[in-house]
Structure 1
Amino acid sequence: MKINIKFDYTFICKAVLHEQLEALGLEYKLNNLGEVEFQKKLSALEIENVKEAFNKYGIEILANPQNVLVERIKDVITELISDPEKSRKYNVSSYLADELNYSYAHLSSVFSEITYSSIENFIILKKIDLAKHLIIHEDFTLTEIAHQLNYSSVAHLSAQFKKTTGLTPSAFQRIIKKRQEIE
């Protein structure tokens, strides 16, 4: 004997998601098919439990490939900026393209789309963060810091530092020294 049935895949998927997430005791919201929003950040164990529960039904958690690429871009930039020899040797756009095997235009487009900022702006922010770290934790002059971060001059570093932080590097140094004296 045969019977013909009709499937409502959306209903079935939502029912499976609901059943599994309820069993795990997680607070969530089903935004639309293919997207679950959790009310809190999940621990690594909770994510693993969700993956296992979903895998039983052929449901897979997908990482947004664009977000993954943006994180890779950030990591490569951080690595490059943190290594003075490398940063003097390579042009950032060429280095990114070579390391990630995409054209710089594509990388720039994805980065801007996901972060609402440019790669160039991210590079400036990372350089200023590193400059602040060097001012606080190392005994380098501003000239040495500018050289280490591949700035053409102390004036260029100072201009970007002030534009980013609202303070000149010298003013930042004075504030840090005063705070260290108080502690």
Structure 2
Amino acid sequence: MVCIRCQMVVRAELEKLGIQYSYVKIGEANILGDVHPEELVQLSVALKKSGLELMDDKKSILVEKIKNVIVELVHYTDDQIKVNLSDYLSEKLGYDYTYMANLFSEVKGITIEKFYLSHKIERVKELIVYDELNLTEISYKMHYSSVAHLSNQFKKITGLTPSHFKKLRNKRRDSLDNV
């Protein structure tokens, strides 16, 4: 659940089933009280129809939390983290980074760093398409050390320079769920 619409779907399904909750946020819902197993099955089926899934194993939940922290960091905040990504994730989630990195790679098939960079580049694409900021401003907003650094990473991941990408406005961006 990495977007606002996903949260709305989860809230609606919980309300349809009469399941009380205290909050629904990116990747997580806090259910109040006990939920009958039959209601969990109904919720699971309803969520699958919307492309979402109910998770109950701790490893999958941790991987989702890692993804959600990164998505929130890249797409929903302009703050620059004061420490490196590994320390930030460890601090935020309360797990050893090596454990999280190994688990993430095992489950997702890519490293946390590649996932993070993919999301940064998707955000850069979004900012380029919006055409409100120039590349220098985007570089600053996304906390790159220079436009050259942004351009090199952009080309490495997309195969295009940012300026060439801008010319190809019709190029579809990936949804956050597919990054």
Matched ranges for 1:11-90 at <5 A: 47-48=41-42, 63-82=56-75, 83-85=77-79, 87-90=80-83
Contact 2:81 2:88 (8 Å CA) reproduced: no
Q: Does 1:109 align with 2:102?
A: yes
After TM superposition, give the deviation of residue 142 of structure 1 in Å. 0.7
Matching residue of 1:135: 128
CA distance in 2, matches of 1:74, 1:49: 22
CA distance in 2, matches of 1:138, 1:89: 28
One-letter identity of the residue aligned with 1:74: K
**TM-score normalized by the length of structure 2:** 0.62
Superposed CA offset, 1:82-128 (max 9, x none)? 3222x243421111101110011111111011011100000110000
After TM superposition, give the deviation of residue 63 of structure 1 in Å. 2.2
Superposed CA offset, 1:164-183 (max 9, x none)? 1111000011121899xxxx
**TM-score normalized by the length of structure 1:** 0.61
After TM superposition, give the deviation of residue 50 of structure 1 in Å. 7.5
One-letter identity of the residue aligned with 1:175: L
CA-based RMSD of the aligned residues comes to: 2.7
**Which of the two has greater helix per residue?**
1
Partner SS for 1:70: helix
Larger Rg: 1
Q: Does 1:126 align with 2:136?
A: no
| Distance change >3 Å, CA 62–CA 120, structure 1 → 2 | closer
Superposed CA offset, 1:122-142 (max 9, x none)? 011000000001111241111
Q: Which runs of 5+ in 2 are unaligned?
A: 1-38, 46-53, 173-179
Q: How many residues align?
A: 125
Q: Which runs of 5+ in 1 are unaligned?
A: 1-44, 52-60
CA distance in 2, matches of 1:178, 1:92: 30
